[in-house]
Chain A
């Protein structure tokens, strides 16, 4: 009898089984060495359970029979010591090819059994599902309710540097000004009731520009922000146009000048100053709205001249500007009023009437903490 033969016989003799009970009360018999791969089951065995059919190990409720069989497949493969890393990796890759719903269930089940390698594997797979997708796509995949208000959707952090969006924002603002002017002239214009744009001052203050491939509204509103900064900067820094980063408006033209200047000179000295300015910029962003220093037509022309976006993108941007402008139309004058009167303070609850006639309440910052 060779060494190999006697080993096989030994393992056969020692093969023990444990009994596992799933959430639906069905009981399964599983080889002990496979089941022991799960720490939870290991613990239960050591405390005496699972050795017979009458005393099965009751698995946590998140483990239903299909998940259990998947988990056992995983354990059965990986508990064999002789496999190479390559083999294991390739098994893992094939193993996680399943629909997202099952992935989520599997993650949950593996977590309740404390099977960390499988949790890592499935969460990596879920991360890959999420990565690079737009919020709508993600919501669809995971059936998430789209229950954030417009204001809440303004993401707190974004990368600032999207030049095309700066220009987009410029245009938006320019057009908006035009319309505003016109509307003021026709003072008896009826307020269109479209979707209200409930945006608290704080949120607007706190988000970073640049927009993602997210909802149009988000994108456009961000562009609006960018627009403001770019426009002001453009006027005050004649020599350097594409000052890309956070050159934005501030209260005085002087500060603006100084800021743009310093910003454009790659400084080591003015970093403190620059940091201060960064903070200031964001707080005074909206103040800039009221600065009616520029005539829309100028802005428009200037913008176009400096554009070097390719025509296709331009068209797309134009279309989106239209959309956004439409959306803004409804209560722009009202909002302007509020912004002007409230300044940087927290906005109290505000109710507006949207197109459907139902009352929608703006949430204050407090309510948003969920």
Chain B
């Protein structure tokens, strides 16, 4: 078969492949294929995965023009579409809240849509109509900049596996209700929530991503949780709230996740965990925890150091550790308590599997150096430890290196890499 032959190359492919190809085109181009030839006339109309983004929007200076164009396009598209719709994703910065969107959602709810992704432009947040809550077959729901107000008779999404709410306004009780009434929920992402007190009851939950200002976080029933990523922002009220809190955050949050494999904590996460934390040994051992990544750990605060140690010591299978120090070296409260380290060195805390350690923003404070020493002495299979000093540390680098060189290493293969330039 030469290239000059008249043989049609592509129309012979099975419908599933043609759909796969069309689904990867911007929606507008996919619809344009209708004028290619007779066989292609309605191939686009049976797409089951519909994804509209700004690639399909025409670009003019007048925003209203563009928005009306998009509204028109989607309305016509849905009207001429023929067949089931499994996934509908609308992500456009031009589109604002509009009654047409309500109608589309009503249409989709009748089509048993399974995946719904809605991300509209900045401006007035879109208020989700009640038909969203009647999409019984939903397995994935992702909303950005929405107002959600579940109706009183809402019983939950029984098939929902993935829930992602970003910048969503929802009454706090309702969010907990929503989570607990999605029995199959496996992945939960909540971003940019303000002052939320959250208790998560999700027996099948495996992946949890939280980002925002949380007053209180409690993982009550999440035995299958495998990966956690938390970024906690702190405001003054929340800081105050913490002062008066008496419960142990570490236990509340990490007390019931025996299957945890990855833990990522941003911003004030370690500080959050340190509040109310008094024991050195946590109640459970994280046998599967292989990867820990913590940011903004303030080595000036001994309580935070304690949290880090507690995590590490209770994770016998830890393989990789990344810690980024906090550069705001506020005045240390008194002299650091170094005796605590001597106690710790005497217990057996061998990290049998720790291979890779990456420390960034290292400011060389006492606790930090002791921590590094602790790691080096207790990691028999360590391969690489990379240290990047904090940008603010200029004079102390030589001293840091001298100290590093003097530490004992349990692993004969350990390499210490000191990175001068910021990566």
A: residues with CB less than 8 A from B are 99-101, 104, 107-108, 111, 119-120, 123-124, 126-127, 130-132, 135, 138-139, 141-148, 152-163, 206, 208, 210, 212, 214-215, 218, 242, 244-246, 266, 268, 271, 275, 278, 368-370
Chain A residues with Cβ under 8 A from B405's Cβ? none
B40 CB–A CB distance under 8 Å: yes
Interface size class of B (residues with CB under 8 A): 35 or more
B212 CB–A CB distance under 8 Å: no
A-B contacts, 29 of them at CB < 8 A, read: A107-B13, A107-B17, A108-B12, A111-B16, A127-B25, A130-B21, A130-B25, A142-B10, A143-B6, A145-B38, A148-B37, A152-B38, A155-B31, A156-B76, A157-B77, A159-B69, A160-B68, A161-B58, A163-B60, A208-B76, A210-B58, A244-B62, A244-B64, A246-B68, A246-B72, A275-B100, A278-B72, A278-B75, A370-B38
B62 (CB) vs chain A CBs: closest residue: A244
Residues B41 and A159 in contact, CB atoms below 8 Å apart? no
Please measure, in the bound complex, the distance between the C-alpha atom of A215 and the C-alpha atom of B35, giving whole angstroms.
10
Residues A135 and B36 in contact, CB atoms below 8 Å apart? yes
Please measure, in the bound complex, the distance between the C-alpha atom of A160 and the C-alpha atom of B56, giving whole angstroms.
12
Chain A residues with Cβ under 8 A from B64's Cβ? 244-245, 266
With A107-B13, A123-B21, A142-B9 as known contacts, state yes or no: A135 contacts B69, CB within 8 Å.
Answer: no
Residues A139 and B37 in contact, CB atoms below 8 Å apart? yes
Q: What is the number of contacts between chain A and chain B, taking CB atoms within 8 Å?
A: 153
Measured between C-beta atoms, what is the minimum distance from A134 to chain B in Å? Answer: 9
Going nearest first, the 6 A-B pairs with the smallest beta carbon separation are A245-B68, A127-B24, A161-B69, A244-B65, A123-B20, A144-B37
Measured between C-beta atoms, what is the minimum distance from B214 to chain A in Å? Answer: 32
Chain A residues with Cβ under 8 A from B32's Cβ? 135, 155, 212, 214
B210 CB–A CB distance under 8 Å: no
B217 CB–A CB distance under 8 Å: no
Please measure, in the bound complex, the distance between the C-alpha atom of A147 and the C-alpha atom of B14, giving whole angstroms.
21
Please measure, in the bound complex, the distance between the C-alpha atom of A154 and the C-alpha atom of B76, giving whole angstroms.
14
Please measure, in the bound complex, the distance between the C-alpha atom of A45 and the C-alpha atom of B140, giving whole angstroms.
36
A-facing mask of B58-96, CB < 8 A → 1, else 0? 101010111011101101110010000000000000000
B39 CB–A CB distance under 8 Å: yes
B225 CB–A CB distance under 8 Å: no
Chain B residues with Cβ under 8 A from A143's Cβ? 5-9
Residues B72 and A144 in contact, CB atoms below 8 Å apart? no
Chain A residues with Cβ under 8 A from B8's Cβ? 142-145
Measured between C-beta atoms, what is the minimum distance from A277 to chain B in Å? Answer: 13
Measured between C-beta atoms, what is the minimum distance from B287 to chain A in Å? Answer: 23
B336 CB–A CB distance under 8 Å: no
B3 CB–A CB distance under 8 Å: yes
Measured between C-beta atoms, what is the minimum distance from A94 to chain B in Å? Answer: 19
Please measure, in the bound complex, the distance between the C-alpha atom of A156 and the C-alpha atom of B28, giving whole angstroms.
11
Name which of B10, B14, B28, B72 has the most chain A CB atoms within 10 A of its CB: B10
Residues A119 and B9 in contact, CB atoms below 8 Å apart? no
Q: A127-B25, A147-B38, A159-B69 are in contact. List 11 more A-B contacts (CB 8 A).
A: A108-B17, A126-B10, A135-B32, A138-B36, A144-B36, A153-B35, A160-B68, A160-B69, A245-B64, A266-B64, A368-B41
Please measure, in the bound complex, the distance between the C-alpha atom of A143 and the C-alpha atom of B36, giving whole angstroms.
10
Measured between C-beta atoms, what is the minimum distance from A165 to chain B in Å? Answer: 11
B11 CB–A CB distance under 8 Å: yes
Measured between C-beta atoms, what is the minimum distance from B188 to chain A in Å? Answer: 25
Please measure, in the bound complex, the distance between the C-alpha atom of A11 and the C-alpha atom of B389, giving whole angstroms.
44
B26 CB–A CB distance under 8 Å: yes
Chain A residues with Cβ under 8 A from B72's Cβ? 159-160, 208, 245-246, 278
B19 (CB) vs chain A CBs: closest residue: A123
B282 CB–A CB distance under 8 Å: no
With A145-B8, A152-B41, A368-B41 as known contacts, state yes or no: A157 contacts B17, CB within 8 Å.
Answer: no
Residues B20 and A119 in contact, CB atoms below 8 Å apart? yes
Our pick among A144, A162, A244 for the contact of B11 (Cβ within 8 Å) is A144
Please measure, in the bound complex, the distance between the C-alpha atom of A141 and the C-alpha atom of B415, giving whole angstroms.
55
B68 (CB) vs chain A CBs: closest residue: A245
Chain B residues with Cβ under 8 A from A100's Cβ? 9
Residues A138 and B38 in contact, CB atoms below 8 Å apart? no
A263 (CB) vs chain B CBs: closest residue: B68
Please measure, in the bound complex, the distance between the C-alpha atom of A111 and the C-alpha atom of B15, giving whole angstroms.
11
B20 (CB) vs chain A CBs: closest residue: A123
Chain B residues with Cβ under 8 A from A156's Cβ? 31, 34, 76, 80
Chain A residues with Cβ under 8 A from B16's Cβ? 111
Chain B residues with Cβ under 8 A from A99's Cβ? 3
A-facing mask of B31-60, CB < 8 A → 1, else 0? 111111111111000000000000011101
Chain A residues with Cβ under 8 A from B41's Cβ? 148, 152, 368, 370
A-facing mask of B122-160, CB < 8 A → 1, else 0? 000000000000000000000000000000000000000
With A101-B3, A101-B9, A138-B33 as known contacts, state yes or no: A144 contacts B65, CB within 8 Å.
Answer: no
